[in-house]
Amino acid sequence: MNDRSQATSDSAFVIAIDGPAASGKGTLSRRLAEEFGYAHLDTGLTYRAVGHALLQNDLPLDNEAVAVEIAKTIDLSKLDRAVLSDHAIGEAASIVAVMGSVRRALVDAQRKFSKTLPGTILDGRDIGTVVCPDANIKFYVVASPGVRAGRRFEEIVNNGGTAIYDDILRDIRTRDERDMGRKDSPLKPAGDAHLIDTSKMDIETAFQTAKAIVKKTLAV
């Protein structure tokens, strides 16, 4: 048993959830947050907010000095998933996410959020490795690129849009390469993360698996 299993009355219980795009980590995080009454932050939205601001103001995506000034102004209480979920914003986010100074500005805000009592769930790419390395519990959620592309495809079609599966698969592979291959805070599992593979597991089963781990840790 490690000494991180318990939150005290003045420290938040922190759950870190990492994984690639469309792995199911977002849904899992929201379900766990609801179940345990913890505050939830989708840290991808913070990178998306920077990308969105640059796109909206016709600013270049490759100017780190400009991007960091925007990153410093991001208000975590004003992140609008509906606005930020656009595909082009996700691409812009993964471009600014390679910039060290942008990451540092956003990580500062994310760490402050992680201290919210009684507990928090942060999901992203580097939560268990960089943002909250002392998290009480860490999950790393994966699924094969084909399964993830299929999920994105269905999501778009179910929302009345049109999409080409092969294009989505190519984008997912490109995003994986960028997120896993960057020098600063690459996407990878923390050594002490619980691995959840949702390739052949529905979200309900993934949720029940994670919930059991959280309950067991809280009961210690």
d(CA 107, CA 130): 8
d(CA 160, CA 169): 19
Binding ligand C5P (rule: CB under 6 A), the pick from 16, 32, 33, 47 is: 47
Binding ligand C5P (rule: CB under 6 A), the pick from 50, 66, 120, 124 is: 124
The Cα-based distances of 198 to 19, 24, 133, 143, 146 in angstroms read: 11, 7, 24, 5, 12
Q: Is 126 in the site for ligand C5P (CB under 6 A)?
A: yes
Q: Is 179 in the site for ligand C5P (CB under 6 A)?
A: yes
Residue number with CB closer to ligand C5P (102 or 210): 102
Binding ligand C5P (rule: CB under 6 A), the pick from 12, 21, 74, 143 is: 21
Residue number with CB closer to ligand C5P (84 or 214): 84
Minimum CB separation of residue 11 from ligand C5P in Å reads 22
Size of the site for ligand C5P (CB under 6 A): 14
d(CA 213, CA 37): 16
Q: Is 93 in the site for ligand C5P (CB under 6 A)?
A: yes
Q: Is 125 in the site for ligand C5P (CB under 6 A)?
A: yes
Measured over the CA atoms of residue 76, residue 43, residue 130 and residue 218, the dihedral's sign is positive
- Binding residues for ligand C5P, rule: CB under 6 A, are 21, 43-44, 47-48, 90, 93-94, 97, 124-126, 175, 179
